[in-house]
Amino acid sequence: MSVSALMNTYGERKTTLTKGDGPYLWDSEGRRYLDALSGIAVCGLGYNYPSVTQAISEQAKTLIHCSNLFLIEPQQELGKLLVQASGMDKVFFSNSGAEANEAAIKLARKYAQDKGITAPHIITCDKSFHGRTMATLSATGNPKVKAGFFPMVEGFSHVPYNDIEAIKQAATENTIAIMVEPIQGEGGVNVPADDYLTNLRALCDENGWLLILDEIQTGNGRTGAYFAYQHTNIHPDVVTTAKGLGNGVPIGACLAKGKAAEVFQPGNHGSTFGGNPLACSAAVATFKALVNDGIMKSGAATGNSMIAKFKERFANNPKVVEVKGQGMMMGIQLSQDCPTLVERAKEKNLLLNVTAGNTIRLLPPLILTEEQAQTVVDTVVQLVEEIE
């Protein structure tokens, strides 16, 4: 397929994918791939999942879109499910993760303005990724993706991840929020100390700051809880998610609790397409499969077993610095960059990703069988052993 009419934002693309089923994708030549990336953490239920396909089909026959000037039944149902599952109070729906994070940033800024802080300051982390809109790009802690787009939106500072003291040093009288990922994805699948989120919560409580958790990638069951913060005993003031929320149908969500849930008032924020009937119907079906059908728990068990196998098989391999991750979010940090590994994996009919230059990132669908998971492990081990 010619891509000449498209802006060159993704570099050269050699493969055209035409269909998917379960954890497998097929290209236009009929070649089948085992997908260990899920469309970058999107299709947690794999492809053509029956209840999601049915929900989309049935909703498309009745009402695909109506504006948010009206009540939308699937939107109300999805909001109730997410609030009950998360322990948060209110939700705003968008079309993507970047938009969900944009909503969180706007919410924090208005929270500050309502307190009389006219130049609000938000602390985020080095190696973070929060999106490609101007505000979320400004929040992102990766200079590479910012190149060419200066000046950034003012009001953000970046500190080392997993470093509470650095946050204390960066804070000012205008600091209003801390925004972090429970596990950094794009930054290299970086897992913080077990008490990191708990200490962040305490620091925010001590200073009256909002704790904003970006769970665009870690949410929707990827780590074994619906949200990764639910592995702790804390709640954030704001949590955002997207990616796996609609299993491929674009939708994002910004949830808030307590005082943060009352910040937005009519006219403060909105979206034409966010929370439309089609996207919400897909997300409701996805949520029920993940939670009610037990896929979230079984997927986490499979993922943790894969991580254990990687650690065992790479234990004495000098090419591997560290095996990281939780549930179906895992990274294998190598001692050198591996620019050809993605293509070499495709030659072995496996789809994966490399992030931060030297970290193999695996985000498989949560529906992987034990046999399919073993195939991923064996293939990745072989790929690493073949690196010269």
pLDDT, tens only, 207-225: 999 999 999 999 999 999 9
Domain identity same for 85 and 34: no
Question: What is the C-alpha separation between 217 and 185, in angstroms, rounded?
Answer: 7
Domain identity same for 70 and 125: yes
Q: Residue 59, annotated ligand binder?
A: no
Give the pLDDT confidence score for residue 27 in this predicted structure: 98
Domain identity same for 108 and 255: yes
Q: Residue 271, annotated ligand binder?
A: yes
Unique residue bearing structure tokens 């938000």: 122
Q: Residue 150, annotated ligand binder?
A: no
pLDDT, tens only, 296-320: 999 999 999 999 999 999 999 999 9
Contact of 320 with 314, CB cutoff 8 Å = yes
Whether residue 9 lies inside any domain: the answer is no
Q: Residue 51, annotated ligand binder?
A: no
Per-residue pLDDT of the chain (388 residues; tens, 9 = 90+): 555 899 999 998 999 999 999 999 999 999 999 999 999 999 999 999 999 999 999 999 999 999 999 999 999 999 999 999 999 999 999 999 999 999 999 999 999 999 999 999 999 999 999 999 999 999 999 999 999 999 999 999 999 999 999 999 999 999 999 999 999 999 999 999 999 999 999 999 999 999 999 999 999 999 999 999 999 999 999 999 999 999 999 999 999 999 999 999 999 999 999 999 999 999 999 999 999 999 999 999 999 999 999 999 999 999 999 999 999 999 999 999 999 999 999 999 999 999 999 999 999 999 999 999 999 999 999 999 999 8
Give the pLDDT confidence score for residue 337 in this predicted structure: 95
Whether residue 263 lies inside any domain: the answer is yes
Residue 251: domain span:
50-293
Question: What is the C-alpha separation between 342 and 204, in angstroms, rounded?
Answer: 40
CATH number at residue 342: 3.90.1150.10
Whether residue 300 lies inside any domain: the answer is no
Unique residue bearing structure tokens 């994996």: 345
* Domain end point (choices 293, 323, 353): 293
Model-wide pTM > 0.95 = yes
Whether residue 367 lies inside any domain: the answer is yes
Q: How many residues in total does the chain contain? A: 388
Query: What does the DSSP assignment read for 325-359?
Result: EETTEEEEEESS--TTHHHHHHHTTEE-EEETTTE
Q: Residue 272, annotated ligand binder?
A: yes
Domain identity same for 235 and 172: yes
Other beta carbons within 10 angstroms of residue 316's beta carbon come to 6
Q: Residue 139, annotated ligand binder?
A: no
* Domain end point (choices 293, 321, 353): 293
CATH number at residue 244: 3.40.640.10
pLDDT, tens only, 169-192: 999 999 999 999 999 999 999 999
Q: Residue 32, annotated ligand binder?
A: no
Question: What is the C-alpha separation between 9 and 148, in angstroms, rounded?
Answer: 14
Q: Residue 361, annotated ligand binder?
A: no
